[in-house]
Structure 1
């Protein structure tokens, strides 16, 4: 029998030069209500950085990937963000996908937070500096009944928003009655009636025979954009739809790397990309996606119906990206049954919306002051969140 070999180690903190002696000493993650997964990274200098690895409906899978990343990267220099990103993405041979990329997102965001805090500057300063001082934002409107839509639109406008997004339709079959599309137009007109710009989210639940008709009907009413008019993966079909409508087409929340976006750019299928910083490899990869999009004169509007850390990270990309368009954010009381954007932070004013915009954060790192005591307490009781699933009138499964 041969002698046992020394187990290989992936820890190579000393193998590359670093601008700082600061190393990762601990990586933790916290599942907190309503559905968020926060990442805490502690360093040898005592700096703590926070990231977010929220992946709605897949929390436990991401936690497993986070455990692996923690085992691999404790002891690595915090300054070498790109080296850590490359090893996280490539060193396990199999790469990409929503689970790994979400876990990497949480770690990556926290490392940028650490670097900003160590250098005493906001993260946007490390991304090339500011090209704007304010961030245009929009939020979601729910509801199906006309009275509910109108009431929610009024509430959002009173809260300072000038733009919102809403479902284009709750339920359509593969080929449904054309009359079913009339309600979608009325939804748009109701929200616009209070003076809001409105994006219409098809959410991939509308199939090609109906999507073509719906895009045509919405166009005269000038929605801000139509989002996921077909499920991602239908590249040629979305490109064909793009040639049939003058309404900007937005997509990208279910894509996680530059490689995922590339065929859409090359096909001319998209006008606005919407990567999510908590899904698509963190600040490092999302900034690269934004730069890639600019090559094709495509706008950058990060997806973010998630927690405060992901939103703050998005703000820093928005401030520094020349092709930034508008930022999605949760309405503050959208999750008021369990938590909202201000629940786990001590400086909720960072998210104040004035005249449709949020001011650029100026504090070092992400600019958030986390309520760590509450995060630890709430994480002990949080159950995994499951997204709603429903069937249409014909009994067939519908997209969330």
Structure 2
């Protein structure tokens, strides 16, 4: 079997584009990957085209072997564009390997520790909502079967304008979420780098009565030492890692205790090959993983196989407002039951993009927005 073609397919969904990658072979089998990098999709597409000649004419067997070849294809390594391109191809090669052998990807990764994967509703509660709406949304998430949901309680512009007022409002929103969700549901607090080592402890103390499950990216991710110091100061667990791209970037963070939950993104951090290593690295330090899962059906399926195959999986993200679009864009809807994804058991990833349905979602250039630089306070 030889690789004959590598193609990309771009489609607009809700607020961003999804990009799927198809690796075709001379025996008719194809593998699917995804490289939906928000804001730099065209750069990733170019990188995939530049990597393609290293695979055309090659036997696709052995995804890890090809990962190393592609990672070292040039003198310059890493970066969001290149690692996302590599991830998309890597996922497609694992899908192709599973189809070739007639087994699901999780079997190739060592076998499933679990076939039901707990998930939380992401992008569910925003800081622009009023407390009554937040309370109702929290109750709805629980009614939908989720054991937890993500809440964004802080608005960066308002935080800059009046810090005390905005932090007090954030407390009101999380209090409303707890009232609506009840005592057992998890509230995953997304902070999107809006805080600092000065303000994060303030919010930590103020939210303690409402038992937040984590603070996600409370401060910028680039400085692991700063995250380590912050985790030592605050009681709530820090979850971070969605923008870290290799095990080398995760190493100082988990080794020094800079987070209590690691969040590698299989679609950006080098695919299944590298994310399995990241999970093993985190496991050495007794840190669970909660994979970041912001993409379409291929990203979700790959994340599920990773989550099933590693011992230290905690919970998986579900972009609940995009669920209908994601399921429509897949040949087989992702199984969801009582707050859990059901692991696919077909060959490869077990799902493929539905190109006919995706034709109704044509690509759009990503709208550009101005940012004020550093958002944290």
Could you state the TM-score of these two structures normalised by the residue count of structure 2?
0.91
Whole-angstrom CA distance in 1 between matches of 2:64 and 2:283: 21
1:293 to 255, 277, 282: 282
2:286 corresponds to 1:280 = no
Task: Show the counterpart of 1:28.
Answer: 7
* Equivalence for 2:38: 56
Query: Equivalents in 2 of 1:234, 1:216: separation in Å?
Result: 23
Aligned position for 1:12: none
Q: Distance in 1 between matches of 2:235 and 2:254?
A: 17
- C-alpha distance in 1, partners of 2:103/2:356? 25
**Mapping of 1:226-237 within 5 angstroms?**
226-237=215-226
Indicate which of 170, 183, 188 corresponds to 2:169: 183
Which consecutive unaligned segments of at least 5 residues does structure 1 have? 1-21
Question: What secondary structure does 2:198 align onto?
Answer: helix
**Cα drift, residue 176 of structure 1:** 5.0
- Structure 1 contact 27–42 (Cα < 8 Å) conserved: yes
Residue of structure 1 equivalent to 2:129: 145
User: Is residue 174–residue 207 contact of structure 1 (8 Å, CA) maintained in 2?
Assistant: no
Cα shift at 1:178: 2.7
The CA distance in 2 between the partners of 1:67 and 1:248, in whole Å, is 40
Conserved in 2, the CA contact under 8 Å of 1:54 and 1:278?
Answer: yes
Give a deviation string over 1:156-185, Cα, whole Å, max 9, x none. 223221211121311254695333211112
Query: Do the aligned partners of residues 59 and 225 (structure 1) sit closer, same or farther apart at CA in structure 2, a change above 3 Å counting?
Result: same
1:371 aligned to 340, 351, 354, which one? 354
CA offset at residue 370 of structure 1?
Answer: 2.9
What displacement does 1:389 show?
4.6
Q: How many residues align?
A: 366
Paired with 2:299 and 2:112, the residues of 1 have a C-alpha distance of 19
Larger Rg: 1
Counterpart for residue 156 of structure 1: 141
Q: 1:73 aligns with which of 47, 55, 59?
A: 55
| 1:88-99 aligned within 5 A | 88-99=70-81
Distance of 2:233 and 2:209 partners within structure 1: 13
Residues 50-105 of structure 1 show CA distances to partners (whole Å, capped at 9, x for unaligned) of 11001011111111101111232111111121121112111201000100000111
Q: Which residue of 1 aligns with 2:312?
A: 323
Q: Deviations over 1:354-400 (max 9, x none)?
A: 2221122111111114313344x357x31132465556xxxx7747x
Residue 202 of structure 1 contacts residue 226 of structure 1 at CA under 8 Å; is this kept in 2? yes
Contact 1:174-1:209 at 8 Å conserved across structures: no
State the TM-score, normalized to the length of structure 1. 0.86
Instruction: Tell me the alpha carbon deviations over residues 35-64 of structure 1, each in whole angstroms, 9 at most, x when there is no partner.
Output: 111111111221111110010111111111
Match for 2:152 among 146, 154, 167? 167
- Looking at structure 1, the residues matched to 47 and 237 of structure 2 have their Cα atoms a distance apart, in angstroms, of 36
Mark the CA change 1:239 to 1:253 in structure 2 (over 3 Å): closer, same or farther.
Answer: same
RMSD of the TM alignment (CA)? 2.0
Distance of 1:149 and 1:390 partners within structure 2: 27
